[in-house]
Structure 1
Amino acid sequence: MQLFLSIITAVLALNILFSIITVFREKRDIAATWAWLVVLVLLPVVGFIFYLFIGKKPSRKKIFDIKNQESIGMSQLVEAQKRKLIEDEQLLSRKQESENTKEIVRLFLEDDGSILTKDNSVHLFTDGFEKYESLISDIYEAKHHVHVMYYIFKDDKIGTKVLKALEERAAAGVEVLVLYDALGSRSLKASFFDHLKSLGGKTQSFFGSRFSIINLRFNYRNHRKIVVIDGKVGYTGGFNVGDEYLGEYEKFGYWRDTHLKIEGSAVLALQNRFLMDWNAAAKQDQLAYQEGYFPTIIKKGETNIQIVSSGPDTEIQQIKKGYIKMISLAKESIFIQTPYFVPDDSLLETLEIAVMSGIDVKIMIPNKPDHPFIYRATTYYAAEMVAAGAQVYIYDNGFLHAKTMVIDGEICSIGTANFDVRSFKLNFEVNAFIYDPKVAKQQEEIFYEDIKKSYLLTQNILNNQSNWLKFKQIFSRLFSPIL
Structure 2
Amino acid sequence: MKFVLILSGLLVLIIIWLVLDFRLGRRKHHLITSKIETGILHGELDIFTHGKEFFRRYFSELQKAQKHIHILYYIVKNDSLGREFFTILKEKARVGVEVRLLIDRLGSFTIKKKEIKELKDAGVLVAFSNRVKLPFLFYSAQVRNHRKISIIDGKVGFMGGFNIGKEYIDEDPKLSPWRDYQLIITGESVNFLQSEFLLDWNEYSSKKVQNEPSYFPKLPKGSIRHQFNPTEAGLLEGIFIDLIKKADKSIIIGTPYFIPSASIFRELLAARRRGVSITLLVPYTADHILVQEASFHFLRKLLTEGSLVYQYQNGFYHAKTILIDDKICDIGTANFDKRSLFLNKEINCYIYDPAFIERMRQVIKKDILDSKLLSLEDLNKPDLWRSVKETFARVISHFL
**Shorter-chain TM band:** over 0.9
Letter in 1 for 2:65: A
Q: Secondary structure at the match of 1:147?
A: strand
What is the CA-CA distance between 1:216 and the residue it aligns to? 6.3
State, as a whole percentage, how many aligned pairs show the same letter.
35
Q: Which residue does 1:325 correspond to in 2?
A: 242
Q: Secondary structure at the match of 1:185?
A: coil
Q: Which residue does 1:367 correspond to in 2?
A: 284
Distance 1:56 1:186 in 2: 26
What is the CA-CA distance between 1:298 and the residue it aligns to? 2.3
Q: Which residue does 2:102 correspond to in 1?
A: 179
| Aligned residues of 1:122 and 1:262 also touching (Cα < 8 A) | yes
What is the CA-CA distance between 1:51 and the residue it aligns to? 5.0
Counterpart check, 1:222 vs 2:139: no
Counterpart check, 1:296 vs 2:296: no
Q: Which residue does 1:153 correspond to in 2?
A: 76
Q: Secondary structure at the match of 1:258?
A: strand
Q: Secondary structure at the match of 1:154?
A: coil
Q: Secondary structure at the match of 1:431?
A: strand
Counterpart check, 1:403 vs 2:320: yes
Q: Secondary structure at the match of 1:274?
A: helix
Counterpart check, 1:44 vs 2:8: no
What is the CA-CA distance between 1:66 and the residue it aligns to? 7.2
Counterpart check, 1:457 vs 2:374: yes
Letter in 1 for 2:345: F
Q: Secondary structure at the match of 2:175?
A: coil
Counterpart check, 1:305 vs 2:273: no
Which of 109, 118, 129 aligns to 1:195? It is 118
Distance 1:426 1:331 in 2: 30
Counterpart check, 1:168 vs 2:91: yes
What is the CA-CA distance between 1:375 and the residue it aligns to? 2.3
| Aligned residues of 2:133 and 2:140 also touching (Cα < 8 A) | no
Q: Which residue does 2:42 correspond to in 1?
A: 119
The 3 A distance-change label for structure 1 pair 65 and 378 is closer
- Describe the superposition over 1:284-333 as per-residue Cα deviations: whole angstroms up to 9, x where unpaired: 2101111111110023x211121111113xxxx33322221111111111
Unaligned 5+ runs, structure 2: none
Q: Which residue does 2:389 correspond to in 1?
A: 472
Distance 2:126 2:335 in 1: 26
| Aligned residues of 1:237 and 1:414 also touching (Cα < 8 A) | yes
What is the CA-CA distance between 1:119 and the residue it aligns to? 2.5
Alignment of 1:190-269 (within 5 A): 190-209=113-132, 217-269=140-192
| Aligned residues of 2:296 and 2:379 also touching (Cα < 8 A) | no
Which portions of structure 1, spanning 4 or more consecutive aligned residues, are displaced by more than 4 angstroms?
48-56, 63-67
- Describe the superposition over 1:199-232 as per-residue Cα deviations: whole angstroms up to 9, x where unpaired: 3210001122589xx8762111101101001111
The 3 A distance-change label for structure 1 pair 66 and 127 is farther
Q: Secondary structure at the match of 1:132?
A: helix
Q: Which residue does 2:25 correspond to in 1?
A: 57
CA-based RMSD = 2.5
Distance 1:192 1:65 in 2: 36
Q: Secondary structure at the match of 1:392?
A: strand
- Greater share of strand: 2
Letter in 2 for 1:250: P
What is the CA-CA distance between 1:432 and the residue it aligns to? 0.7
Q: Which residue does 2:207 correspond to in 1?
A: 285
What is the CA-CA distance between 1:367 and the residue it aligns to? 1.1
What is the CA-CA distance between 1:65 and the residue it aligns to? 11
Distance 2:20 2:127 in 1: 25
Distance 2:133 2:143 in 1: 16
| Aligned residues of 2:177 and 2:314 also touching (Cα < 8 A) | yes
Letter in 1 for 2:220: I
Letter in 1 for 2:244: I
The 3 A distance-change label for structure 1 pair 66 and 178 is farther
Using the size of structure 2 for normalisation, the TM-score is: 0.92
- Describe the superposition over 1:378-399 as per-residue Cα deviations: whole angstroms up to 9, x where unpaired: 2322222112221011111111
Q: Which residue does 1:384 correspond to in 2?
A: 301
The 3 A distance-change label for structure 1 pair 124 and 415 is same
Distance 1:335 1:210 in 2: 39
| Aligned residues of 2:303 and 2:375 also touching (Cα < 8 A) | yes
Letter in 2 for 1:398: G
Structure with greater Cα Rg:
1
Letter in 1 for 2:167: E
| Aligned residues of 1:309 and 1:428 also touching (Cα < 8 A) | yes
Letter in 1 for 2:91: E
What is the CA-CA distance between 1:53 and the residue it aligns to? 7.8
- Describe the superposition over 1:241-274 as per-residue Cα deviations: whole angstroms up to 9, x where unpaired: 0001112112222111111100012211111111
Distance 1:231 1:450 in 2: 33
Letter in 2 for 1:304: R
Distance 2:30 2:93 in 1: 31
Alignment length, in residue pairs?
A: 398
